[in-house]
Amino acid sequence: MHKIPIITKMNIEHKRTPLMVLGTSSGAGKTLIATAICRYLKRKGEQPIPFKGQNMSNNAWVDTQGREMAYSQALQSWSAGLEPTAEMNPVLLKPKGDCTSEVIHLGKSVGTSKAINYYEDWFDSGWEAIKKGLEVLLNSQQHGRLILEGAGSPVEVNLQHKDLTNLKLAKFLNANCILVADIERGGVFAQIIGTIALMKPEEKKLIKGIIINRFRGDKALFETGVKWIEKETGIPVLGILPWLKEIFPPEDSLDLLERKQINQSAEIEIAIIKLPRISNFSDLDPFFHDSSIQMRWIEPGQSLGKPDVLIIPGSKQTIKDLVTLNNTGLSNQIKDYAKKGGNIFGICGGLQMLGTSLEDNQKKESLNEQGIFSGGGLNLLPIKTTFGEIKKTSQREESVSWPDSQKVKGFEMHYGDSDLINNKNSDIISLFRNSSLGWVIEKEDKSFIGGTYLHGIFENDEWRRQWLNKIRQKKGLNHLKIIEENNIYKRESLLDLLTDAFEKNINLDKLI
């Protein structure tokens, strides 16, 4: 097991009282509220420092040192005007299915744990990773203010004594805590009262304010509710945040199907396979803000239909998800779609699935602990994937050769390596000039089948435009003109919209 030196006394001093965002449940809105607070404080002239001690997500980012962290903390970092670093999310659990997760400490994979054994095996080393992350961040930003995000509910009584990232952390840092309740789910009064009732007296004292999230309608109708909550809890309601129609990045795959997008003027339909163990779905964010595109999620067992392009995204367990596609008949639908001139693009695990074979002698992706998988993929690209012991994680800047020559940026995060085999197809193109990061076959009918290991490739605006133009050309549509509003600008605009709504409706003056 990976060992982190025990920190008996932290060599840090936080000059500004940390703020912590807790929720009455998972999905209450902690992530986006913490993100808004980061941008709000930045506007006030402070330097916020986002921090989530432990996160569980397969939607990850790789920092400049090649270390993994949750994408949500990267988003909060951009909102705070900082470069994302793994110290902002020192413990990351990446679910593999079957109640098993890969354990990441300070950006590096340190092992795998069954849920039933996690607290016994990983609590102490996880707490040391959290303290180390805090020490690095506060020493680098000595005048900054920590913006802490909790996880799930802070009062899961069966787990509370081993909770790394909620009230234990709040007490350790003496943080001013904000409790967020999602009124959209219903039962908001019970959420708030029940959560506070399960806290110890010293924990309840840390709760300095309550935010009602996702309110629809006239807020004046809830004034009596606010007064009742304040009377019963003795804690002020800081404000009511309305339901925001803008599309913001989901934190985990549970939010994906709720992420509706209806573009009446859409000219292209992009279908995405919602793999059971989907990962890094933030790769697709640039498409959700494009009015010319309609996105459609396809779960195994559903009909593929006739989209203009099919994307197979990343997977935390490529082989298991490939077997699911086979067992539900979706593999055959994908192959038929390809034969009929469909466009297909795979990212990371999706690229691996498109190949002819996948070998897992190291048992990184096997169907069970004893088995070793050596089987076929969708056989749409002449590549062979072999899973090894070492995970590749790094940011990359590469020269791409298709659809046009240019520079692109992104990051790698994968175990398997893929190579061309028995290449009799002269039409296959290496996407990148200097590395085996992806390939594409462009057919006579102008359709293509390809993929890449480079996460974030669609955030490269010019490359994305050229890629979409390939699809538009086959459909007989005019080419898109040069994209003037780039993806980073769009992300910044969304963060500002979120913060504008927060600033209008929430009063943090007493806490800062």
List the catalytic residues.
348, 455
The residue behind tokens 């904000």 is: 178
| Buried-state track 300-337, b at ≥16 Cβ within 10 A, e below 16 | beeebeebbbbbbbbbbbbbbbbebbbeeebbebbeeb
Which letter does DSSP use for residue 348 in this model?
A: T
- In angstroms, the CA 215 to CA 212 distance is 7
- In angstroms, the CA 236 to CA 341 distance is 60
Number of other CB atoms surrounding residue 209 within 10 Å = 20
User: What amino acid is encoded at 472 in this protein?
Assistant: R
H/E run at residue 95: strand 91-97
DSSP string of 275-335, one letter each residue: -TTEE-GGGGHHHHT-TTEEEEEE-TTS-----SEEEE-EESSHHHHHHHHHHHTHHHHHH
> Are 412 and 396 spatial neighbours (Cβ–Cβ below 8 Å)?
yes
H/E run at residue 81: none
Return phi, psi of residue 40, to 5°. -60, -45
DSSP string of 382-404, one letter each residue: SEEEEEEEEEEEEEEEEEE-SSS
> Are 37 and 74 spatial neighbours (Cβ–Cβ below 8 Å)?
no
> Cis omega (within 30 of 0) on the bond before 18?
no
> Are 263 and 293 spatial neighbours (Cβ–Cβ below 8 Å)?
yes
The alpha carbon of 159 is separated from its chain's Cα centroid by a whole number of angstroms, namely 25
- In angstroms, the CA 444 to CA 341 distance is 9
Alpha helices by DSSP H, listed for 141-187, are 167-173
- In angstroms, the CA 123 to CA 52 distance is 15
What would the two tokens of residue 465 be? Answer: 């435009």
- In angstroms, the CA 270 to CA 429 distance is 23
Return phi, psi of residue 199, to 5°. -90, 150
Residues across the chain: 512
Which letter does DSSP use for residue 124 in this model?
A: H
